């Protein structure tokens, strides 16, 4: 049995259990346990990517209960990619939090590890109900991380966030119950087999279950019209939490891609293509409205939130083509946008601290104390997110444009991608002008007491920037890996055989 598949779940869970049990642990012990757990997740994620780079699929039956009667963990290229990405982003977010943010609550590290466990469990499970459980673990942790500082704006955003996600959880259970009533199973591979055998009398029920499920995933992925919660929530969270939240919406993207290709793919009979008519147009409008929101933002953190919405629209627009090249392009863009936005949230925190009372408001104010370093990082981040050469954002957008050429939607996709890239460039130019170019030099008496970031505070930001550079340098092997993932997603027989082969 492939016991090691459970490690990305067990490592953060064990760390989360140990943190409160060490006996009034000092902050150093909590930091050490959290850091070791994140390093372990990075190592296991990298190992998983290496094991699945050629399309291999591994399974682990919990308690040795074979599918479809027990819960099974399934590792393929898509889940390995998300595990590795979660490990990398969480490591740098935790390092940044160790500067001061983790001292505001003794359970900060506990909730960070529980959130990592929830994310990794969600992308590894092969069972719909277990997916719901891991979603709830992930969301309960995010609720606490969002409001743990007690700031008024965090509490207000947290109430909206909780209400929306509780509604989504109720719909998730409704969709699971509907699909279970029709198919008699919760195992996704088994459900894929049974959906293809349903008769026309079950068409309405199974398609209703599929669409309710997609509404839930659209909410998690912040897709139009269910994205309005994200800018307020992300801009209200403290910097390392907001940066870690950049991975949360990608779990929704994962769920959309997994379920739409595995259960409701081309061979799903009466439920075939249940998602295809909706994903591409909704993703396109999400991209456009996200960029409009970024242009209209009056705060830097709020602008970053809208840029996350726009990036989600970009990758799901590519995936909505439901071709191997389109899905591969979207998958290539996914880690790039996650890492870049996580870096920019941390950078926005430093800019706000060094500007004084104006914080991150996009108004004329004093220059940040370390204007040269922060300005250079902001410039590189802007190029990466706007999709200009030479970074991976440019390569990803070019791939999206190429993937759309055979599609009849090319007449929409090309203008939208090019126009929104220009809008992103304008948004960053406006923000950079107000923060760095037109900003005024502080008077000598104002220099006293102004904060500078230490080398340790800048280390996570520079680390994420280095990841963007490395992602660009190794774009060839990464693109090949994304192509392998996309081809296997569109031909789910290997996944089904790996999970159900012994029982068929």
| Domain annotation covers residue 496 | no
Q: Mean pLDDT in each 10-residue stretch from start to end of the chain (504 residues)?
A: 89 92 77 95 96 94 84 95 97 92 83 96 95 94 84 81 92 95 93 88 89 93 89 91 94 95 86 88 96 95 95 95 95 96 95 86 87 93 92 94 94 96 95 86 54 87 96 95 96 92 53
Would you say residue 218 lies in a domain?
no
Residues 329 and 255: beta-carbon distance below 8 Å: no
* Closest by Cα among 322, 375, 341, 335 to 490: 322
Residues 494 and 194: their CA atoms lie apart, in Å, by: 16
Q: Examine residue 329 and state whether it is found in any structural domain, yes or no.
A: yes
For residue range 106-127, what is the model confidence (pLDDT) as tens digits?
789 999 999 999 999 999 999 9
**Are 57 and 5 in contact, with CB atoms under 8 Å apart?**
no
Residue 263 forms part of a structural domain: no
Residue 401 lies in a domain: yes
- Distance between CA atoms of 74 and 59, rounded to whole angstroms? 5
Residue 352, domain member (yes or no): yes
Domain span at residue 428 reads 276-473
Q: What is the pLDDT of residue 23?
A: 58
Which residues does 431 contact at the CB level (< 8 Å), separation at least 6?
300, 303, 362
> Of the candidates 330, 305, 328, which has an alpha carbon nearest to the alpha carbon of residue 317?
330
Query: 112 with 34: CB under 8 angstroms?
Result: yes
Note the pLDDT tens digit of each residue in 334-356: 999 999 999 999 999 999 988 88
**What pLDDT score does 68 carry?**
83
Domain count, the chain: 1
Mind giving me the DSSP string for 102-130?
Answer: GGS-TTHHHHHHHHHHHHHHHHHB-BHHH
Task: Judge whether 317 lies within some domain.
Answer: yes
DSSP state of 58: E
Q: Is residue 167 part of a domain?
A: no
Q: What is the pTM of this model?
A: 0.94
Residue (of 85, 105, 4, 99) closest to 38 by Cα position: 85
Question: What span, in angstroms and rounded, lies between the C-alpha atoms of 212 and 406?
Answer: 30
Please name which of 438, 333, 306 lies closest in space to residue 375, comparing C-alpha atoms. 438
pLDDT for position 504? 42
Range 66-105 burial, b when 16+ CB lie within 10 A, else e:
ebbeebbbbbbbbbbbbbbbbbbbbbbbbbbbbbebbeee
């Amino acid at each position: 049995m492939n016991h090691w598949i459970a490690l990305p779940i067990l490592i953060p869970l064990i760390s989360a259990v140990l943190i409160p049990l060490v006996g009034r642990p000092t902050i150093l012990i909590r930091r050490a346990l959290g850091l070791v757990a994140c390093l372990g997740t990075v190592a296991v994620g990298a190992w998983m990517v290496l094991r699945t780079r050629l399309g291999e699929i591994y399974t682990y039956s919990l308690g040795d209960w074979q599918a479809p009667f027990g819960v099974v963990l399934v590792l393929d290229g898509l889940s390995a990619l998300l595990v590795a990405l979660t490990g990398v982003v969480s490591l740098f977010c935790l390092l940044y939090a160790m500067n001061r943010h983790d001292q505001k609550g003794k359970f900060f590290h506990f909730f960070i590890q529980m959130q990592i466990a929830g994310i990794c469990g969600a992308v590894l499970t092969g069972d719909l109900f277990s997916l719901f459980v891991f979603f709830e673990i992930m969301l309960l942790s995010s609720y606490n991380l969002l409001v743990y500082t007690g700031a008024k704006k965090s509490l207000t955003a947290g109430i909206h966030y909780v209400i929306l996600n509780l509604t989504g959880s109720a719909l998730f259970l409704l969709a699971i119950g509907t699909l279970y009533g029709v198919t008699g199973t919760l195992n996704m591979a088994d459900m894929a087999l049974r959906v293809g055998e349903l008769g026309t009398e079950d068409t309405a029920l199974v398609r209703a279950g599929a669409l309710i499920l997609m509404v839930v995933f659209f909410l998690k992925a912040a897709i139009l019209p269910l994205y309005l919660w994200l800018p307020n929530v992300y801009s209200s969270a403290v910097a390392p939490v907001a940066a870690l939240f950049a991975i949360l919406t990608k779990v929704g993207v994962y769920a959309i891609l997994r379920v739409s290709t595995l259960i409701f793919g081309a061979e799903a009979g009466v439920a075939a293509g249940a998602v295809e008519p909706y994903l591409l147009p909704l993703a396109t409008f999400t991209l456009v409205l996200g960029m409009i929101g970024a242009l209209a933002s009056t705060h830097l953190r709020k602008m970053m939130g809208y840029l996350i919405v726009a990036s989600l629209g970009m990758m799901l627009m590519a995936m909505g083509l439901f071709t191997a090249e389109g899905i591969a392009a979207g998958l290539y863009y996914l880690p790039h946008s996650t890492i870049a936005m996580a870096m920019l949230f941390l950078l926005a925190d430093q800019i706000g601290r060094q500007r004084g009372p104006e914080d991150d408001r996009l108004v004329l104010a004093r220059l940040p104390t370390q204007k040269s370093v922060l300005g250079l990082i902001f410039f590189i981040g802007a190029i990466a997110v706007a999709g200009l050469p030479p970074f991976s954002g440019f390569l990803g957008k070019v791939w999206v444009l190429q993937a759309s050429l055979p599609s009849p939607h090319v007449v929409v996709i090309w203008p939208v991608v090019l126009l929104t890239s220009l809008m992103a460039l304008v948004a960053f130019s406006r923000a950079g002008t107000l923060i760095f170019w037109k900003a005024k030099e502080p008077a000598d008496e104002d220099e006293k007491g102004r904060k500078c970031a230490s080398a340790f505070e800048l280390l996570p930001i520079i680390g994420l920037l280095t990841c963007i550079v490395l992602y660009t340098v190794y774009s060839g092997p990464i693109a090949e890996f994304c192509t392998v993932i996309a081809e296997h997603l569109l031909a789910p027989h290997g996944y089904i055989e790996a999970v159900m082969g012994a029982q068929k």
